Amino acid sequence: MLIVDKELCIGCGICEDNCAFGAIDVVDGCAVVGDTCTLCGACVDSCEVDALKIEGGEKSVQVDLAAWSGVWVYCEFRGGVLAPVSLELLGVGRKLADARGVKLSAVLIGADTGATAEKLIAYGADIVYRADDQAFTYFTDETYGAVLTDLISQHKPEVVLAGATAIGRSFIPGVANALGAGLTADCTQLDIREEDGALLQTRPAFGGNIMATIVCPSSRPQMSTVRPKVMKELEEDTSRSGAIVEVNLEPAMLESKVRVLESVISEHDDVNIQESDILVGGGRGLDSEKGFELIRELAMHLNGAVSASRAVVDSGWIGYPHQVGQTGKTVAPKLYIACGISGAIQHVAGMQSSETIVAINRDENAPIFDVADFGIVGDLFEILPKLISKIEGHRKS
């Protein structure tokens, strides 16, 4: 319950302004809490007279925290390829493990993983749990979930990280739920709290309009999915040594009620926009499907991928996997060039964490310029060809 101390409350309304859920109203000079309160605590932090507090949050689940030790990273492997986010997670996992003075383990599930386990060690893992079996040729939530859930129950790591990819965000929630563990989605920052060694998991909420830091005070493991591209991988060090442990697979773990009939890899190799350092985004300003040719050309010159606003996806100019935004993908490339995109909040929600944002739009009042680091007001059909040739010129010089 959110409790308002009527003696202390001065009715200033700061809490009302800070509530994202419209759950607080100041009535007769005192804050009143409504039904839409989610106990997020934003108001408690904002109150300058300490009139608000959250009570009754004593966690009912209590595990023996000391029994859980070690940092784990689920390393995604599909179609013979290790997802790049796996190495990024080993990078941050190494830091967390060192801060806690514990080992860093990697979990590798897949078919024909070859020398991948050795690579994970070279990138920071002390132990690799390897589940290599033809049954894992295709991803299914049940098989991958069964293996990971079982390993975690057996070895009791305190922290488990996975990439916030299609696969990670699908089966990790099932694993966390089965274990009764807290899971924080789509983290962009992870730290260890000094007092008690708890994992501080920071993530954007409301499309990046606010940031929230989350802990799991009394349950273990502490689980997070982490956005690709925000953590840094370590330098490869082939002299590092580590142990590879083959996972004992029970037949039941290899069974799934979901049958994969076919796995279709998109013919456009640029489709995984979350993994690209550079994105060129196209919107309705492109006028037609043909307009995307310019976008593709620029992307090619920059070695980047092509993204899009919902308006053009809905028009069928480009496929849904390219859509950025609230109902599409969240991306955080080093460079995002928005061309003919107005910058509606739903689009911006999906790209505002990009390192550098460039906007090209002929309407100087387009909201995209509010988030852009550099903006050019003008016609993209004039600007893009010139930009492409300038970039080419720059490359040559």
Ligand X SMILES: Cc1cc2nc3c(=O)[nH]c(=O)nc-3n(C[C@H](O)[C@H](O)[C@H](O)COP(=O)(O)OP(=O)(O)OC[C@H]3O[C@@H](n4cnc5c(N)ncnc54)[C@H](O)[C@@H]3O)c2cc1C
The yes or no reply on residue 60 touching another protein (CB under 8 A) is: yes
Q: Of the two residues 249 and 380, which places its CB atom closer to another protein in the complex?
A: 380
Long-range contacts of 388-395 (CB under 8 A, 24+ apart): 388/294, 388/297, 388/298, 388/301, 391/298, 391/301, 391/302, 392/301, 395/301
- What Rg value do the Cα atoms of the chain yield, rounded? 24
Residue found under tokens 């899971």: 183
d(CA 97, CA 43): 34
Q: What token pair was written down for 320?
A: 């849904």
* C-beta separation of 60 from 32 below 8 A: no
| Nearest CA among 88, 171, 162 for reference residue 136 | 171
Task: Tell me the HSE value of 151 on the side-chain side, using a 13 A CA sphere.
Answer: 30
Which residue stretch of 59-67, 106-114, 151-159, 235-243 sits at the interface with another protein (rule: CB under 8 A)? 59-67
Query: 304 to 323, contacts with ligand X by CB under 6 A?
Result: 309-312, 323
Q: What token pair was written down for 89?
A: 């997670």
Non-local (6+) Cβ contacts of 154 within 8 A are none
Question: Which amino acid makes up residue 150?
Answer: D
Site for another protein (CB under 8 A): how many residues?
A: 122
Which residue stretch of 96-104, 112-120, 237-245, 250-258 sits at the interface with another protein (rule: CB under 8 A)? 250-258
Q: Which does 367 bind (CB under 5 to 8 A by kind): ligand X, another protein, none?
A: none
The yes or no reply on residue 80 touching another protein (CB under 8 A) is: no
Query: 327 to 366, contacts with ligand X by CB under 6 A?
Result: 327-328, 340-342, 344, 346-347, 350, 360-363, 366
Q: Which does 71 bind (CB under 5 to 8 A by kind): another protein, ligand X, none?
A: none
Interface map 347-386 toward another protein (x if CB under 8 A): --x--xx--xxx-----x----xxxxxxxxxx---xx--x
d(CA 313, CA 308): 7
**What are the distances in angstroms from CA 203 to CA 69, 90, 207, 212, 298?**
24, 19, 10, 6, 32
**Which secondary-structure segment (H or E) carries 132?**
strand 127-132
The yes or no reply on residue 216 touching another protein (CB under 8 A) is: yes
The yes or no reply on residue 153 touching another protein (CB under 8 A) is: no
At residue 207, the 3 state secondary structure works out as coil
Interface map 279-298 toward ligand X (x if CB under 6 A): ----xxx-------------
The yes or no reply on residue 114 touching another protein (CB under 8 A) is: no
Please identify which residue in 65, 173, 240, 381 interacts with ligand X, judged by CB under 6 A.
Answer: 381
Q: Which does 362 bind (CB under 5 to 8 A by kind): ligand X, another protein, none?
A: ligand X
Q: Of the two residues 245 and 377, which places its CB atom closer to ligand X in the complex?
A: 377
d(CA 131, CA 115): 13
Residue found under tokens 């859920």: 21
Please identify which residue in 128, 147, 159, 185 interacts with another protein, judged by CB under 8 A.
Answer: 185
The yes or no reply on residue 78 touching another protein (CB under 8 A) is: yes
Provide the minimum distance between the beta carbon of 371 and ligand X in the complex, in angstroms, as a whole number. 13
Please identify which residue in 51, 330, 331, 341 interacts with another protein, judged by CB under 8 A.
Answer: 330
Q: Can you give the binding site for ligand X, defined by CB under 6 A?
A: 283-285, 309-312, 323-328, 340-342, 344, 346-347, 350, 360-363, 366, 379-381
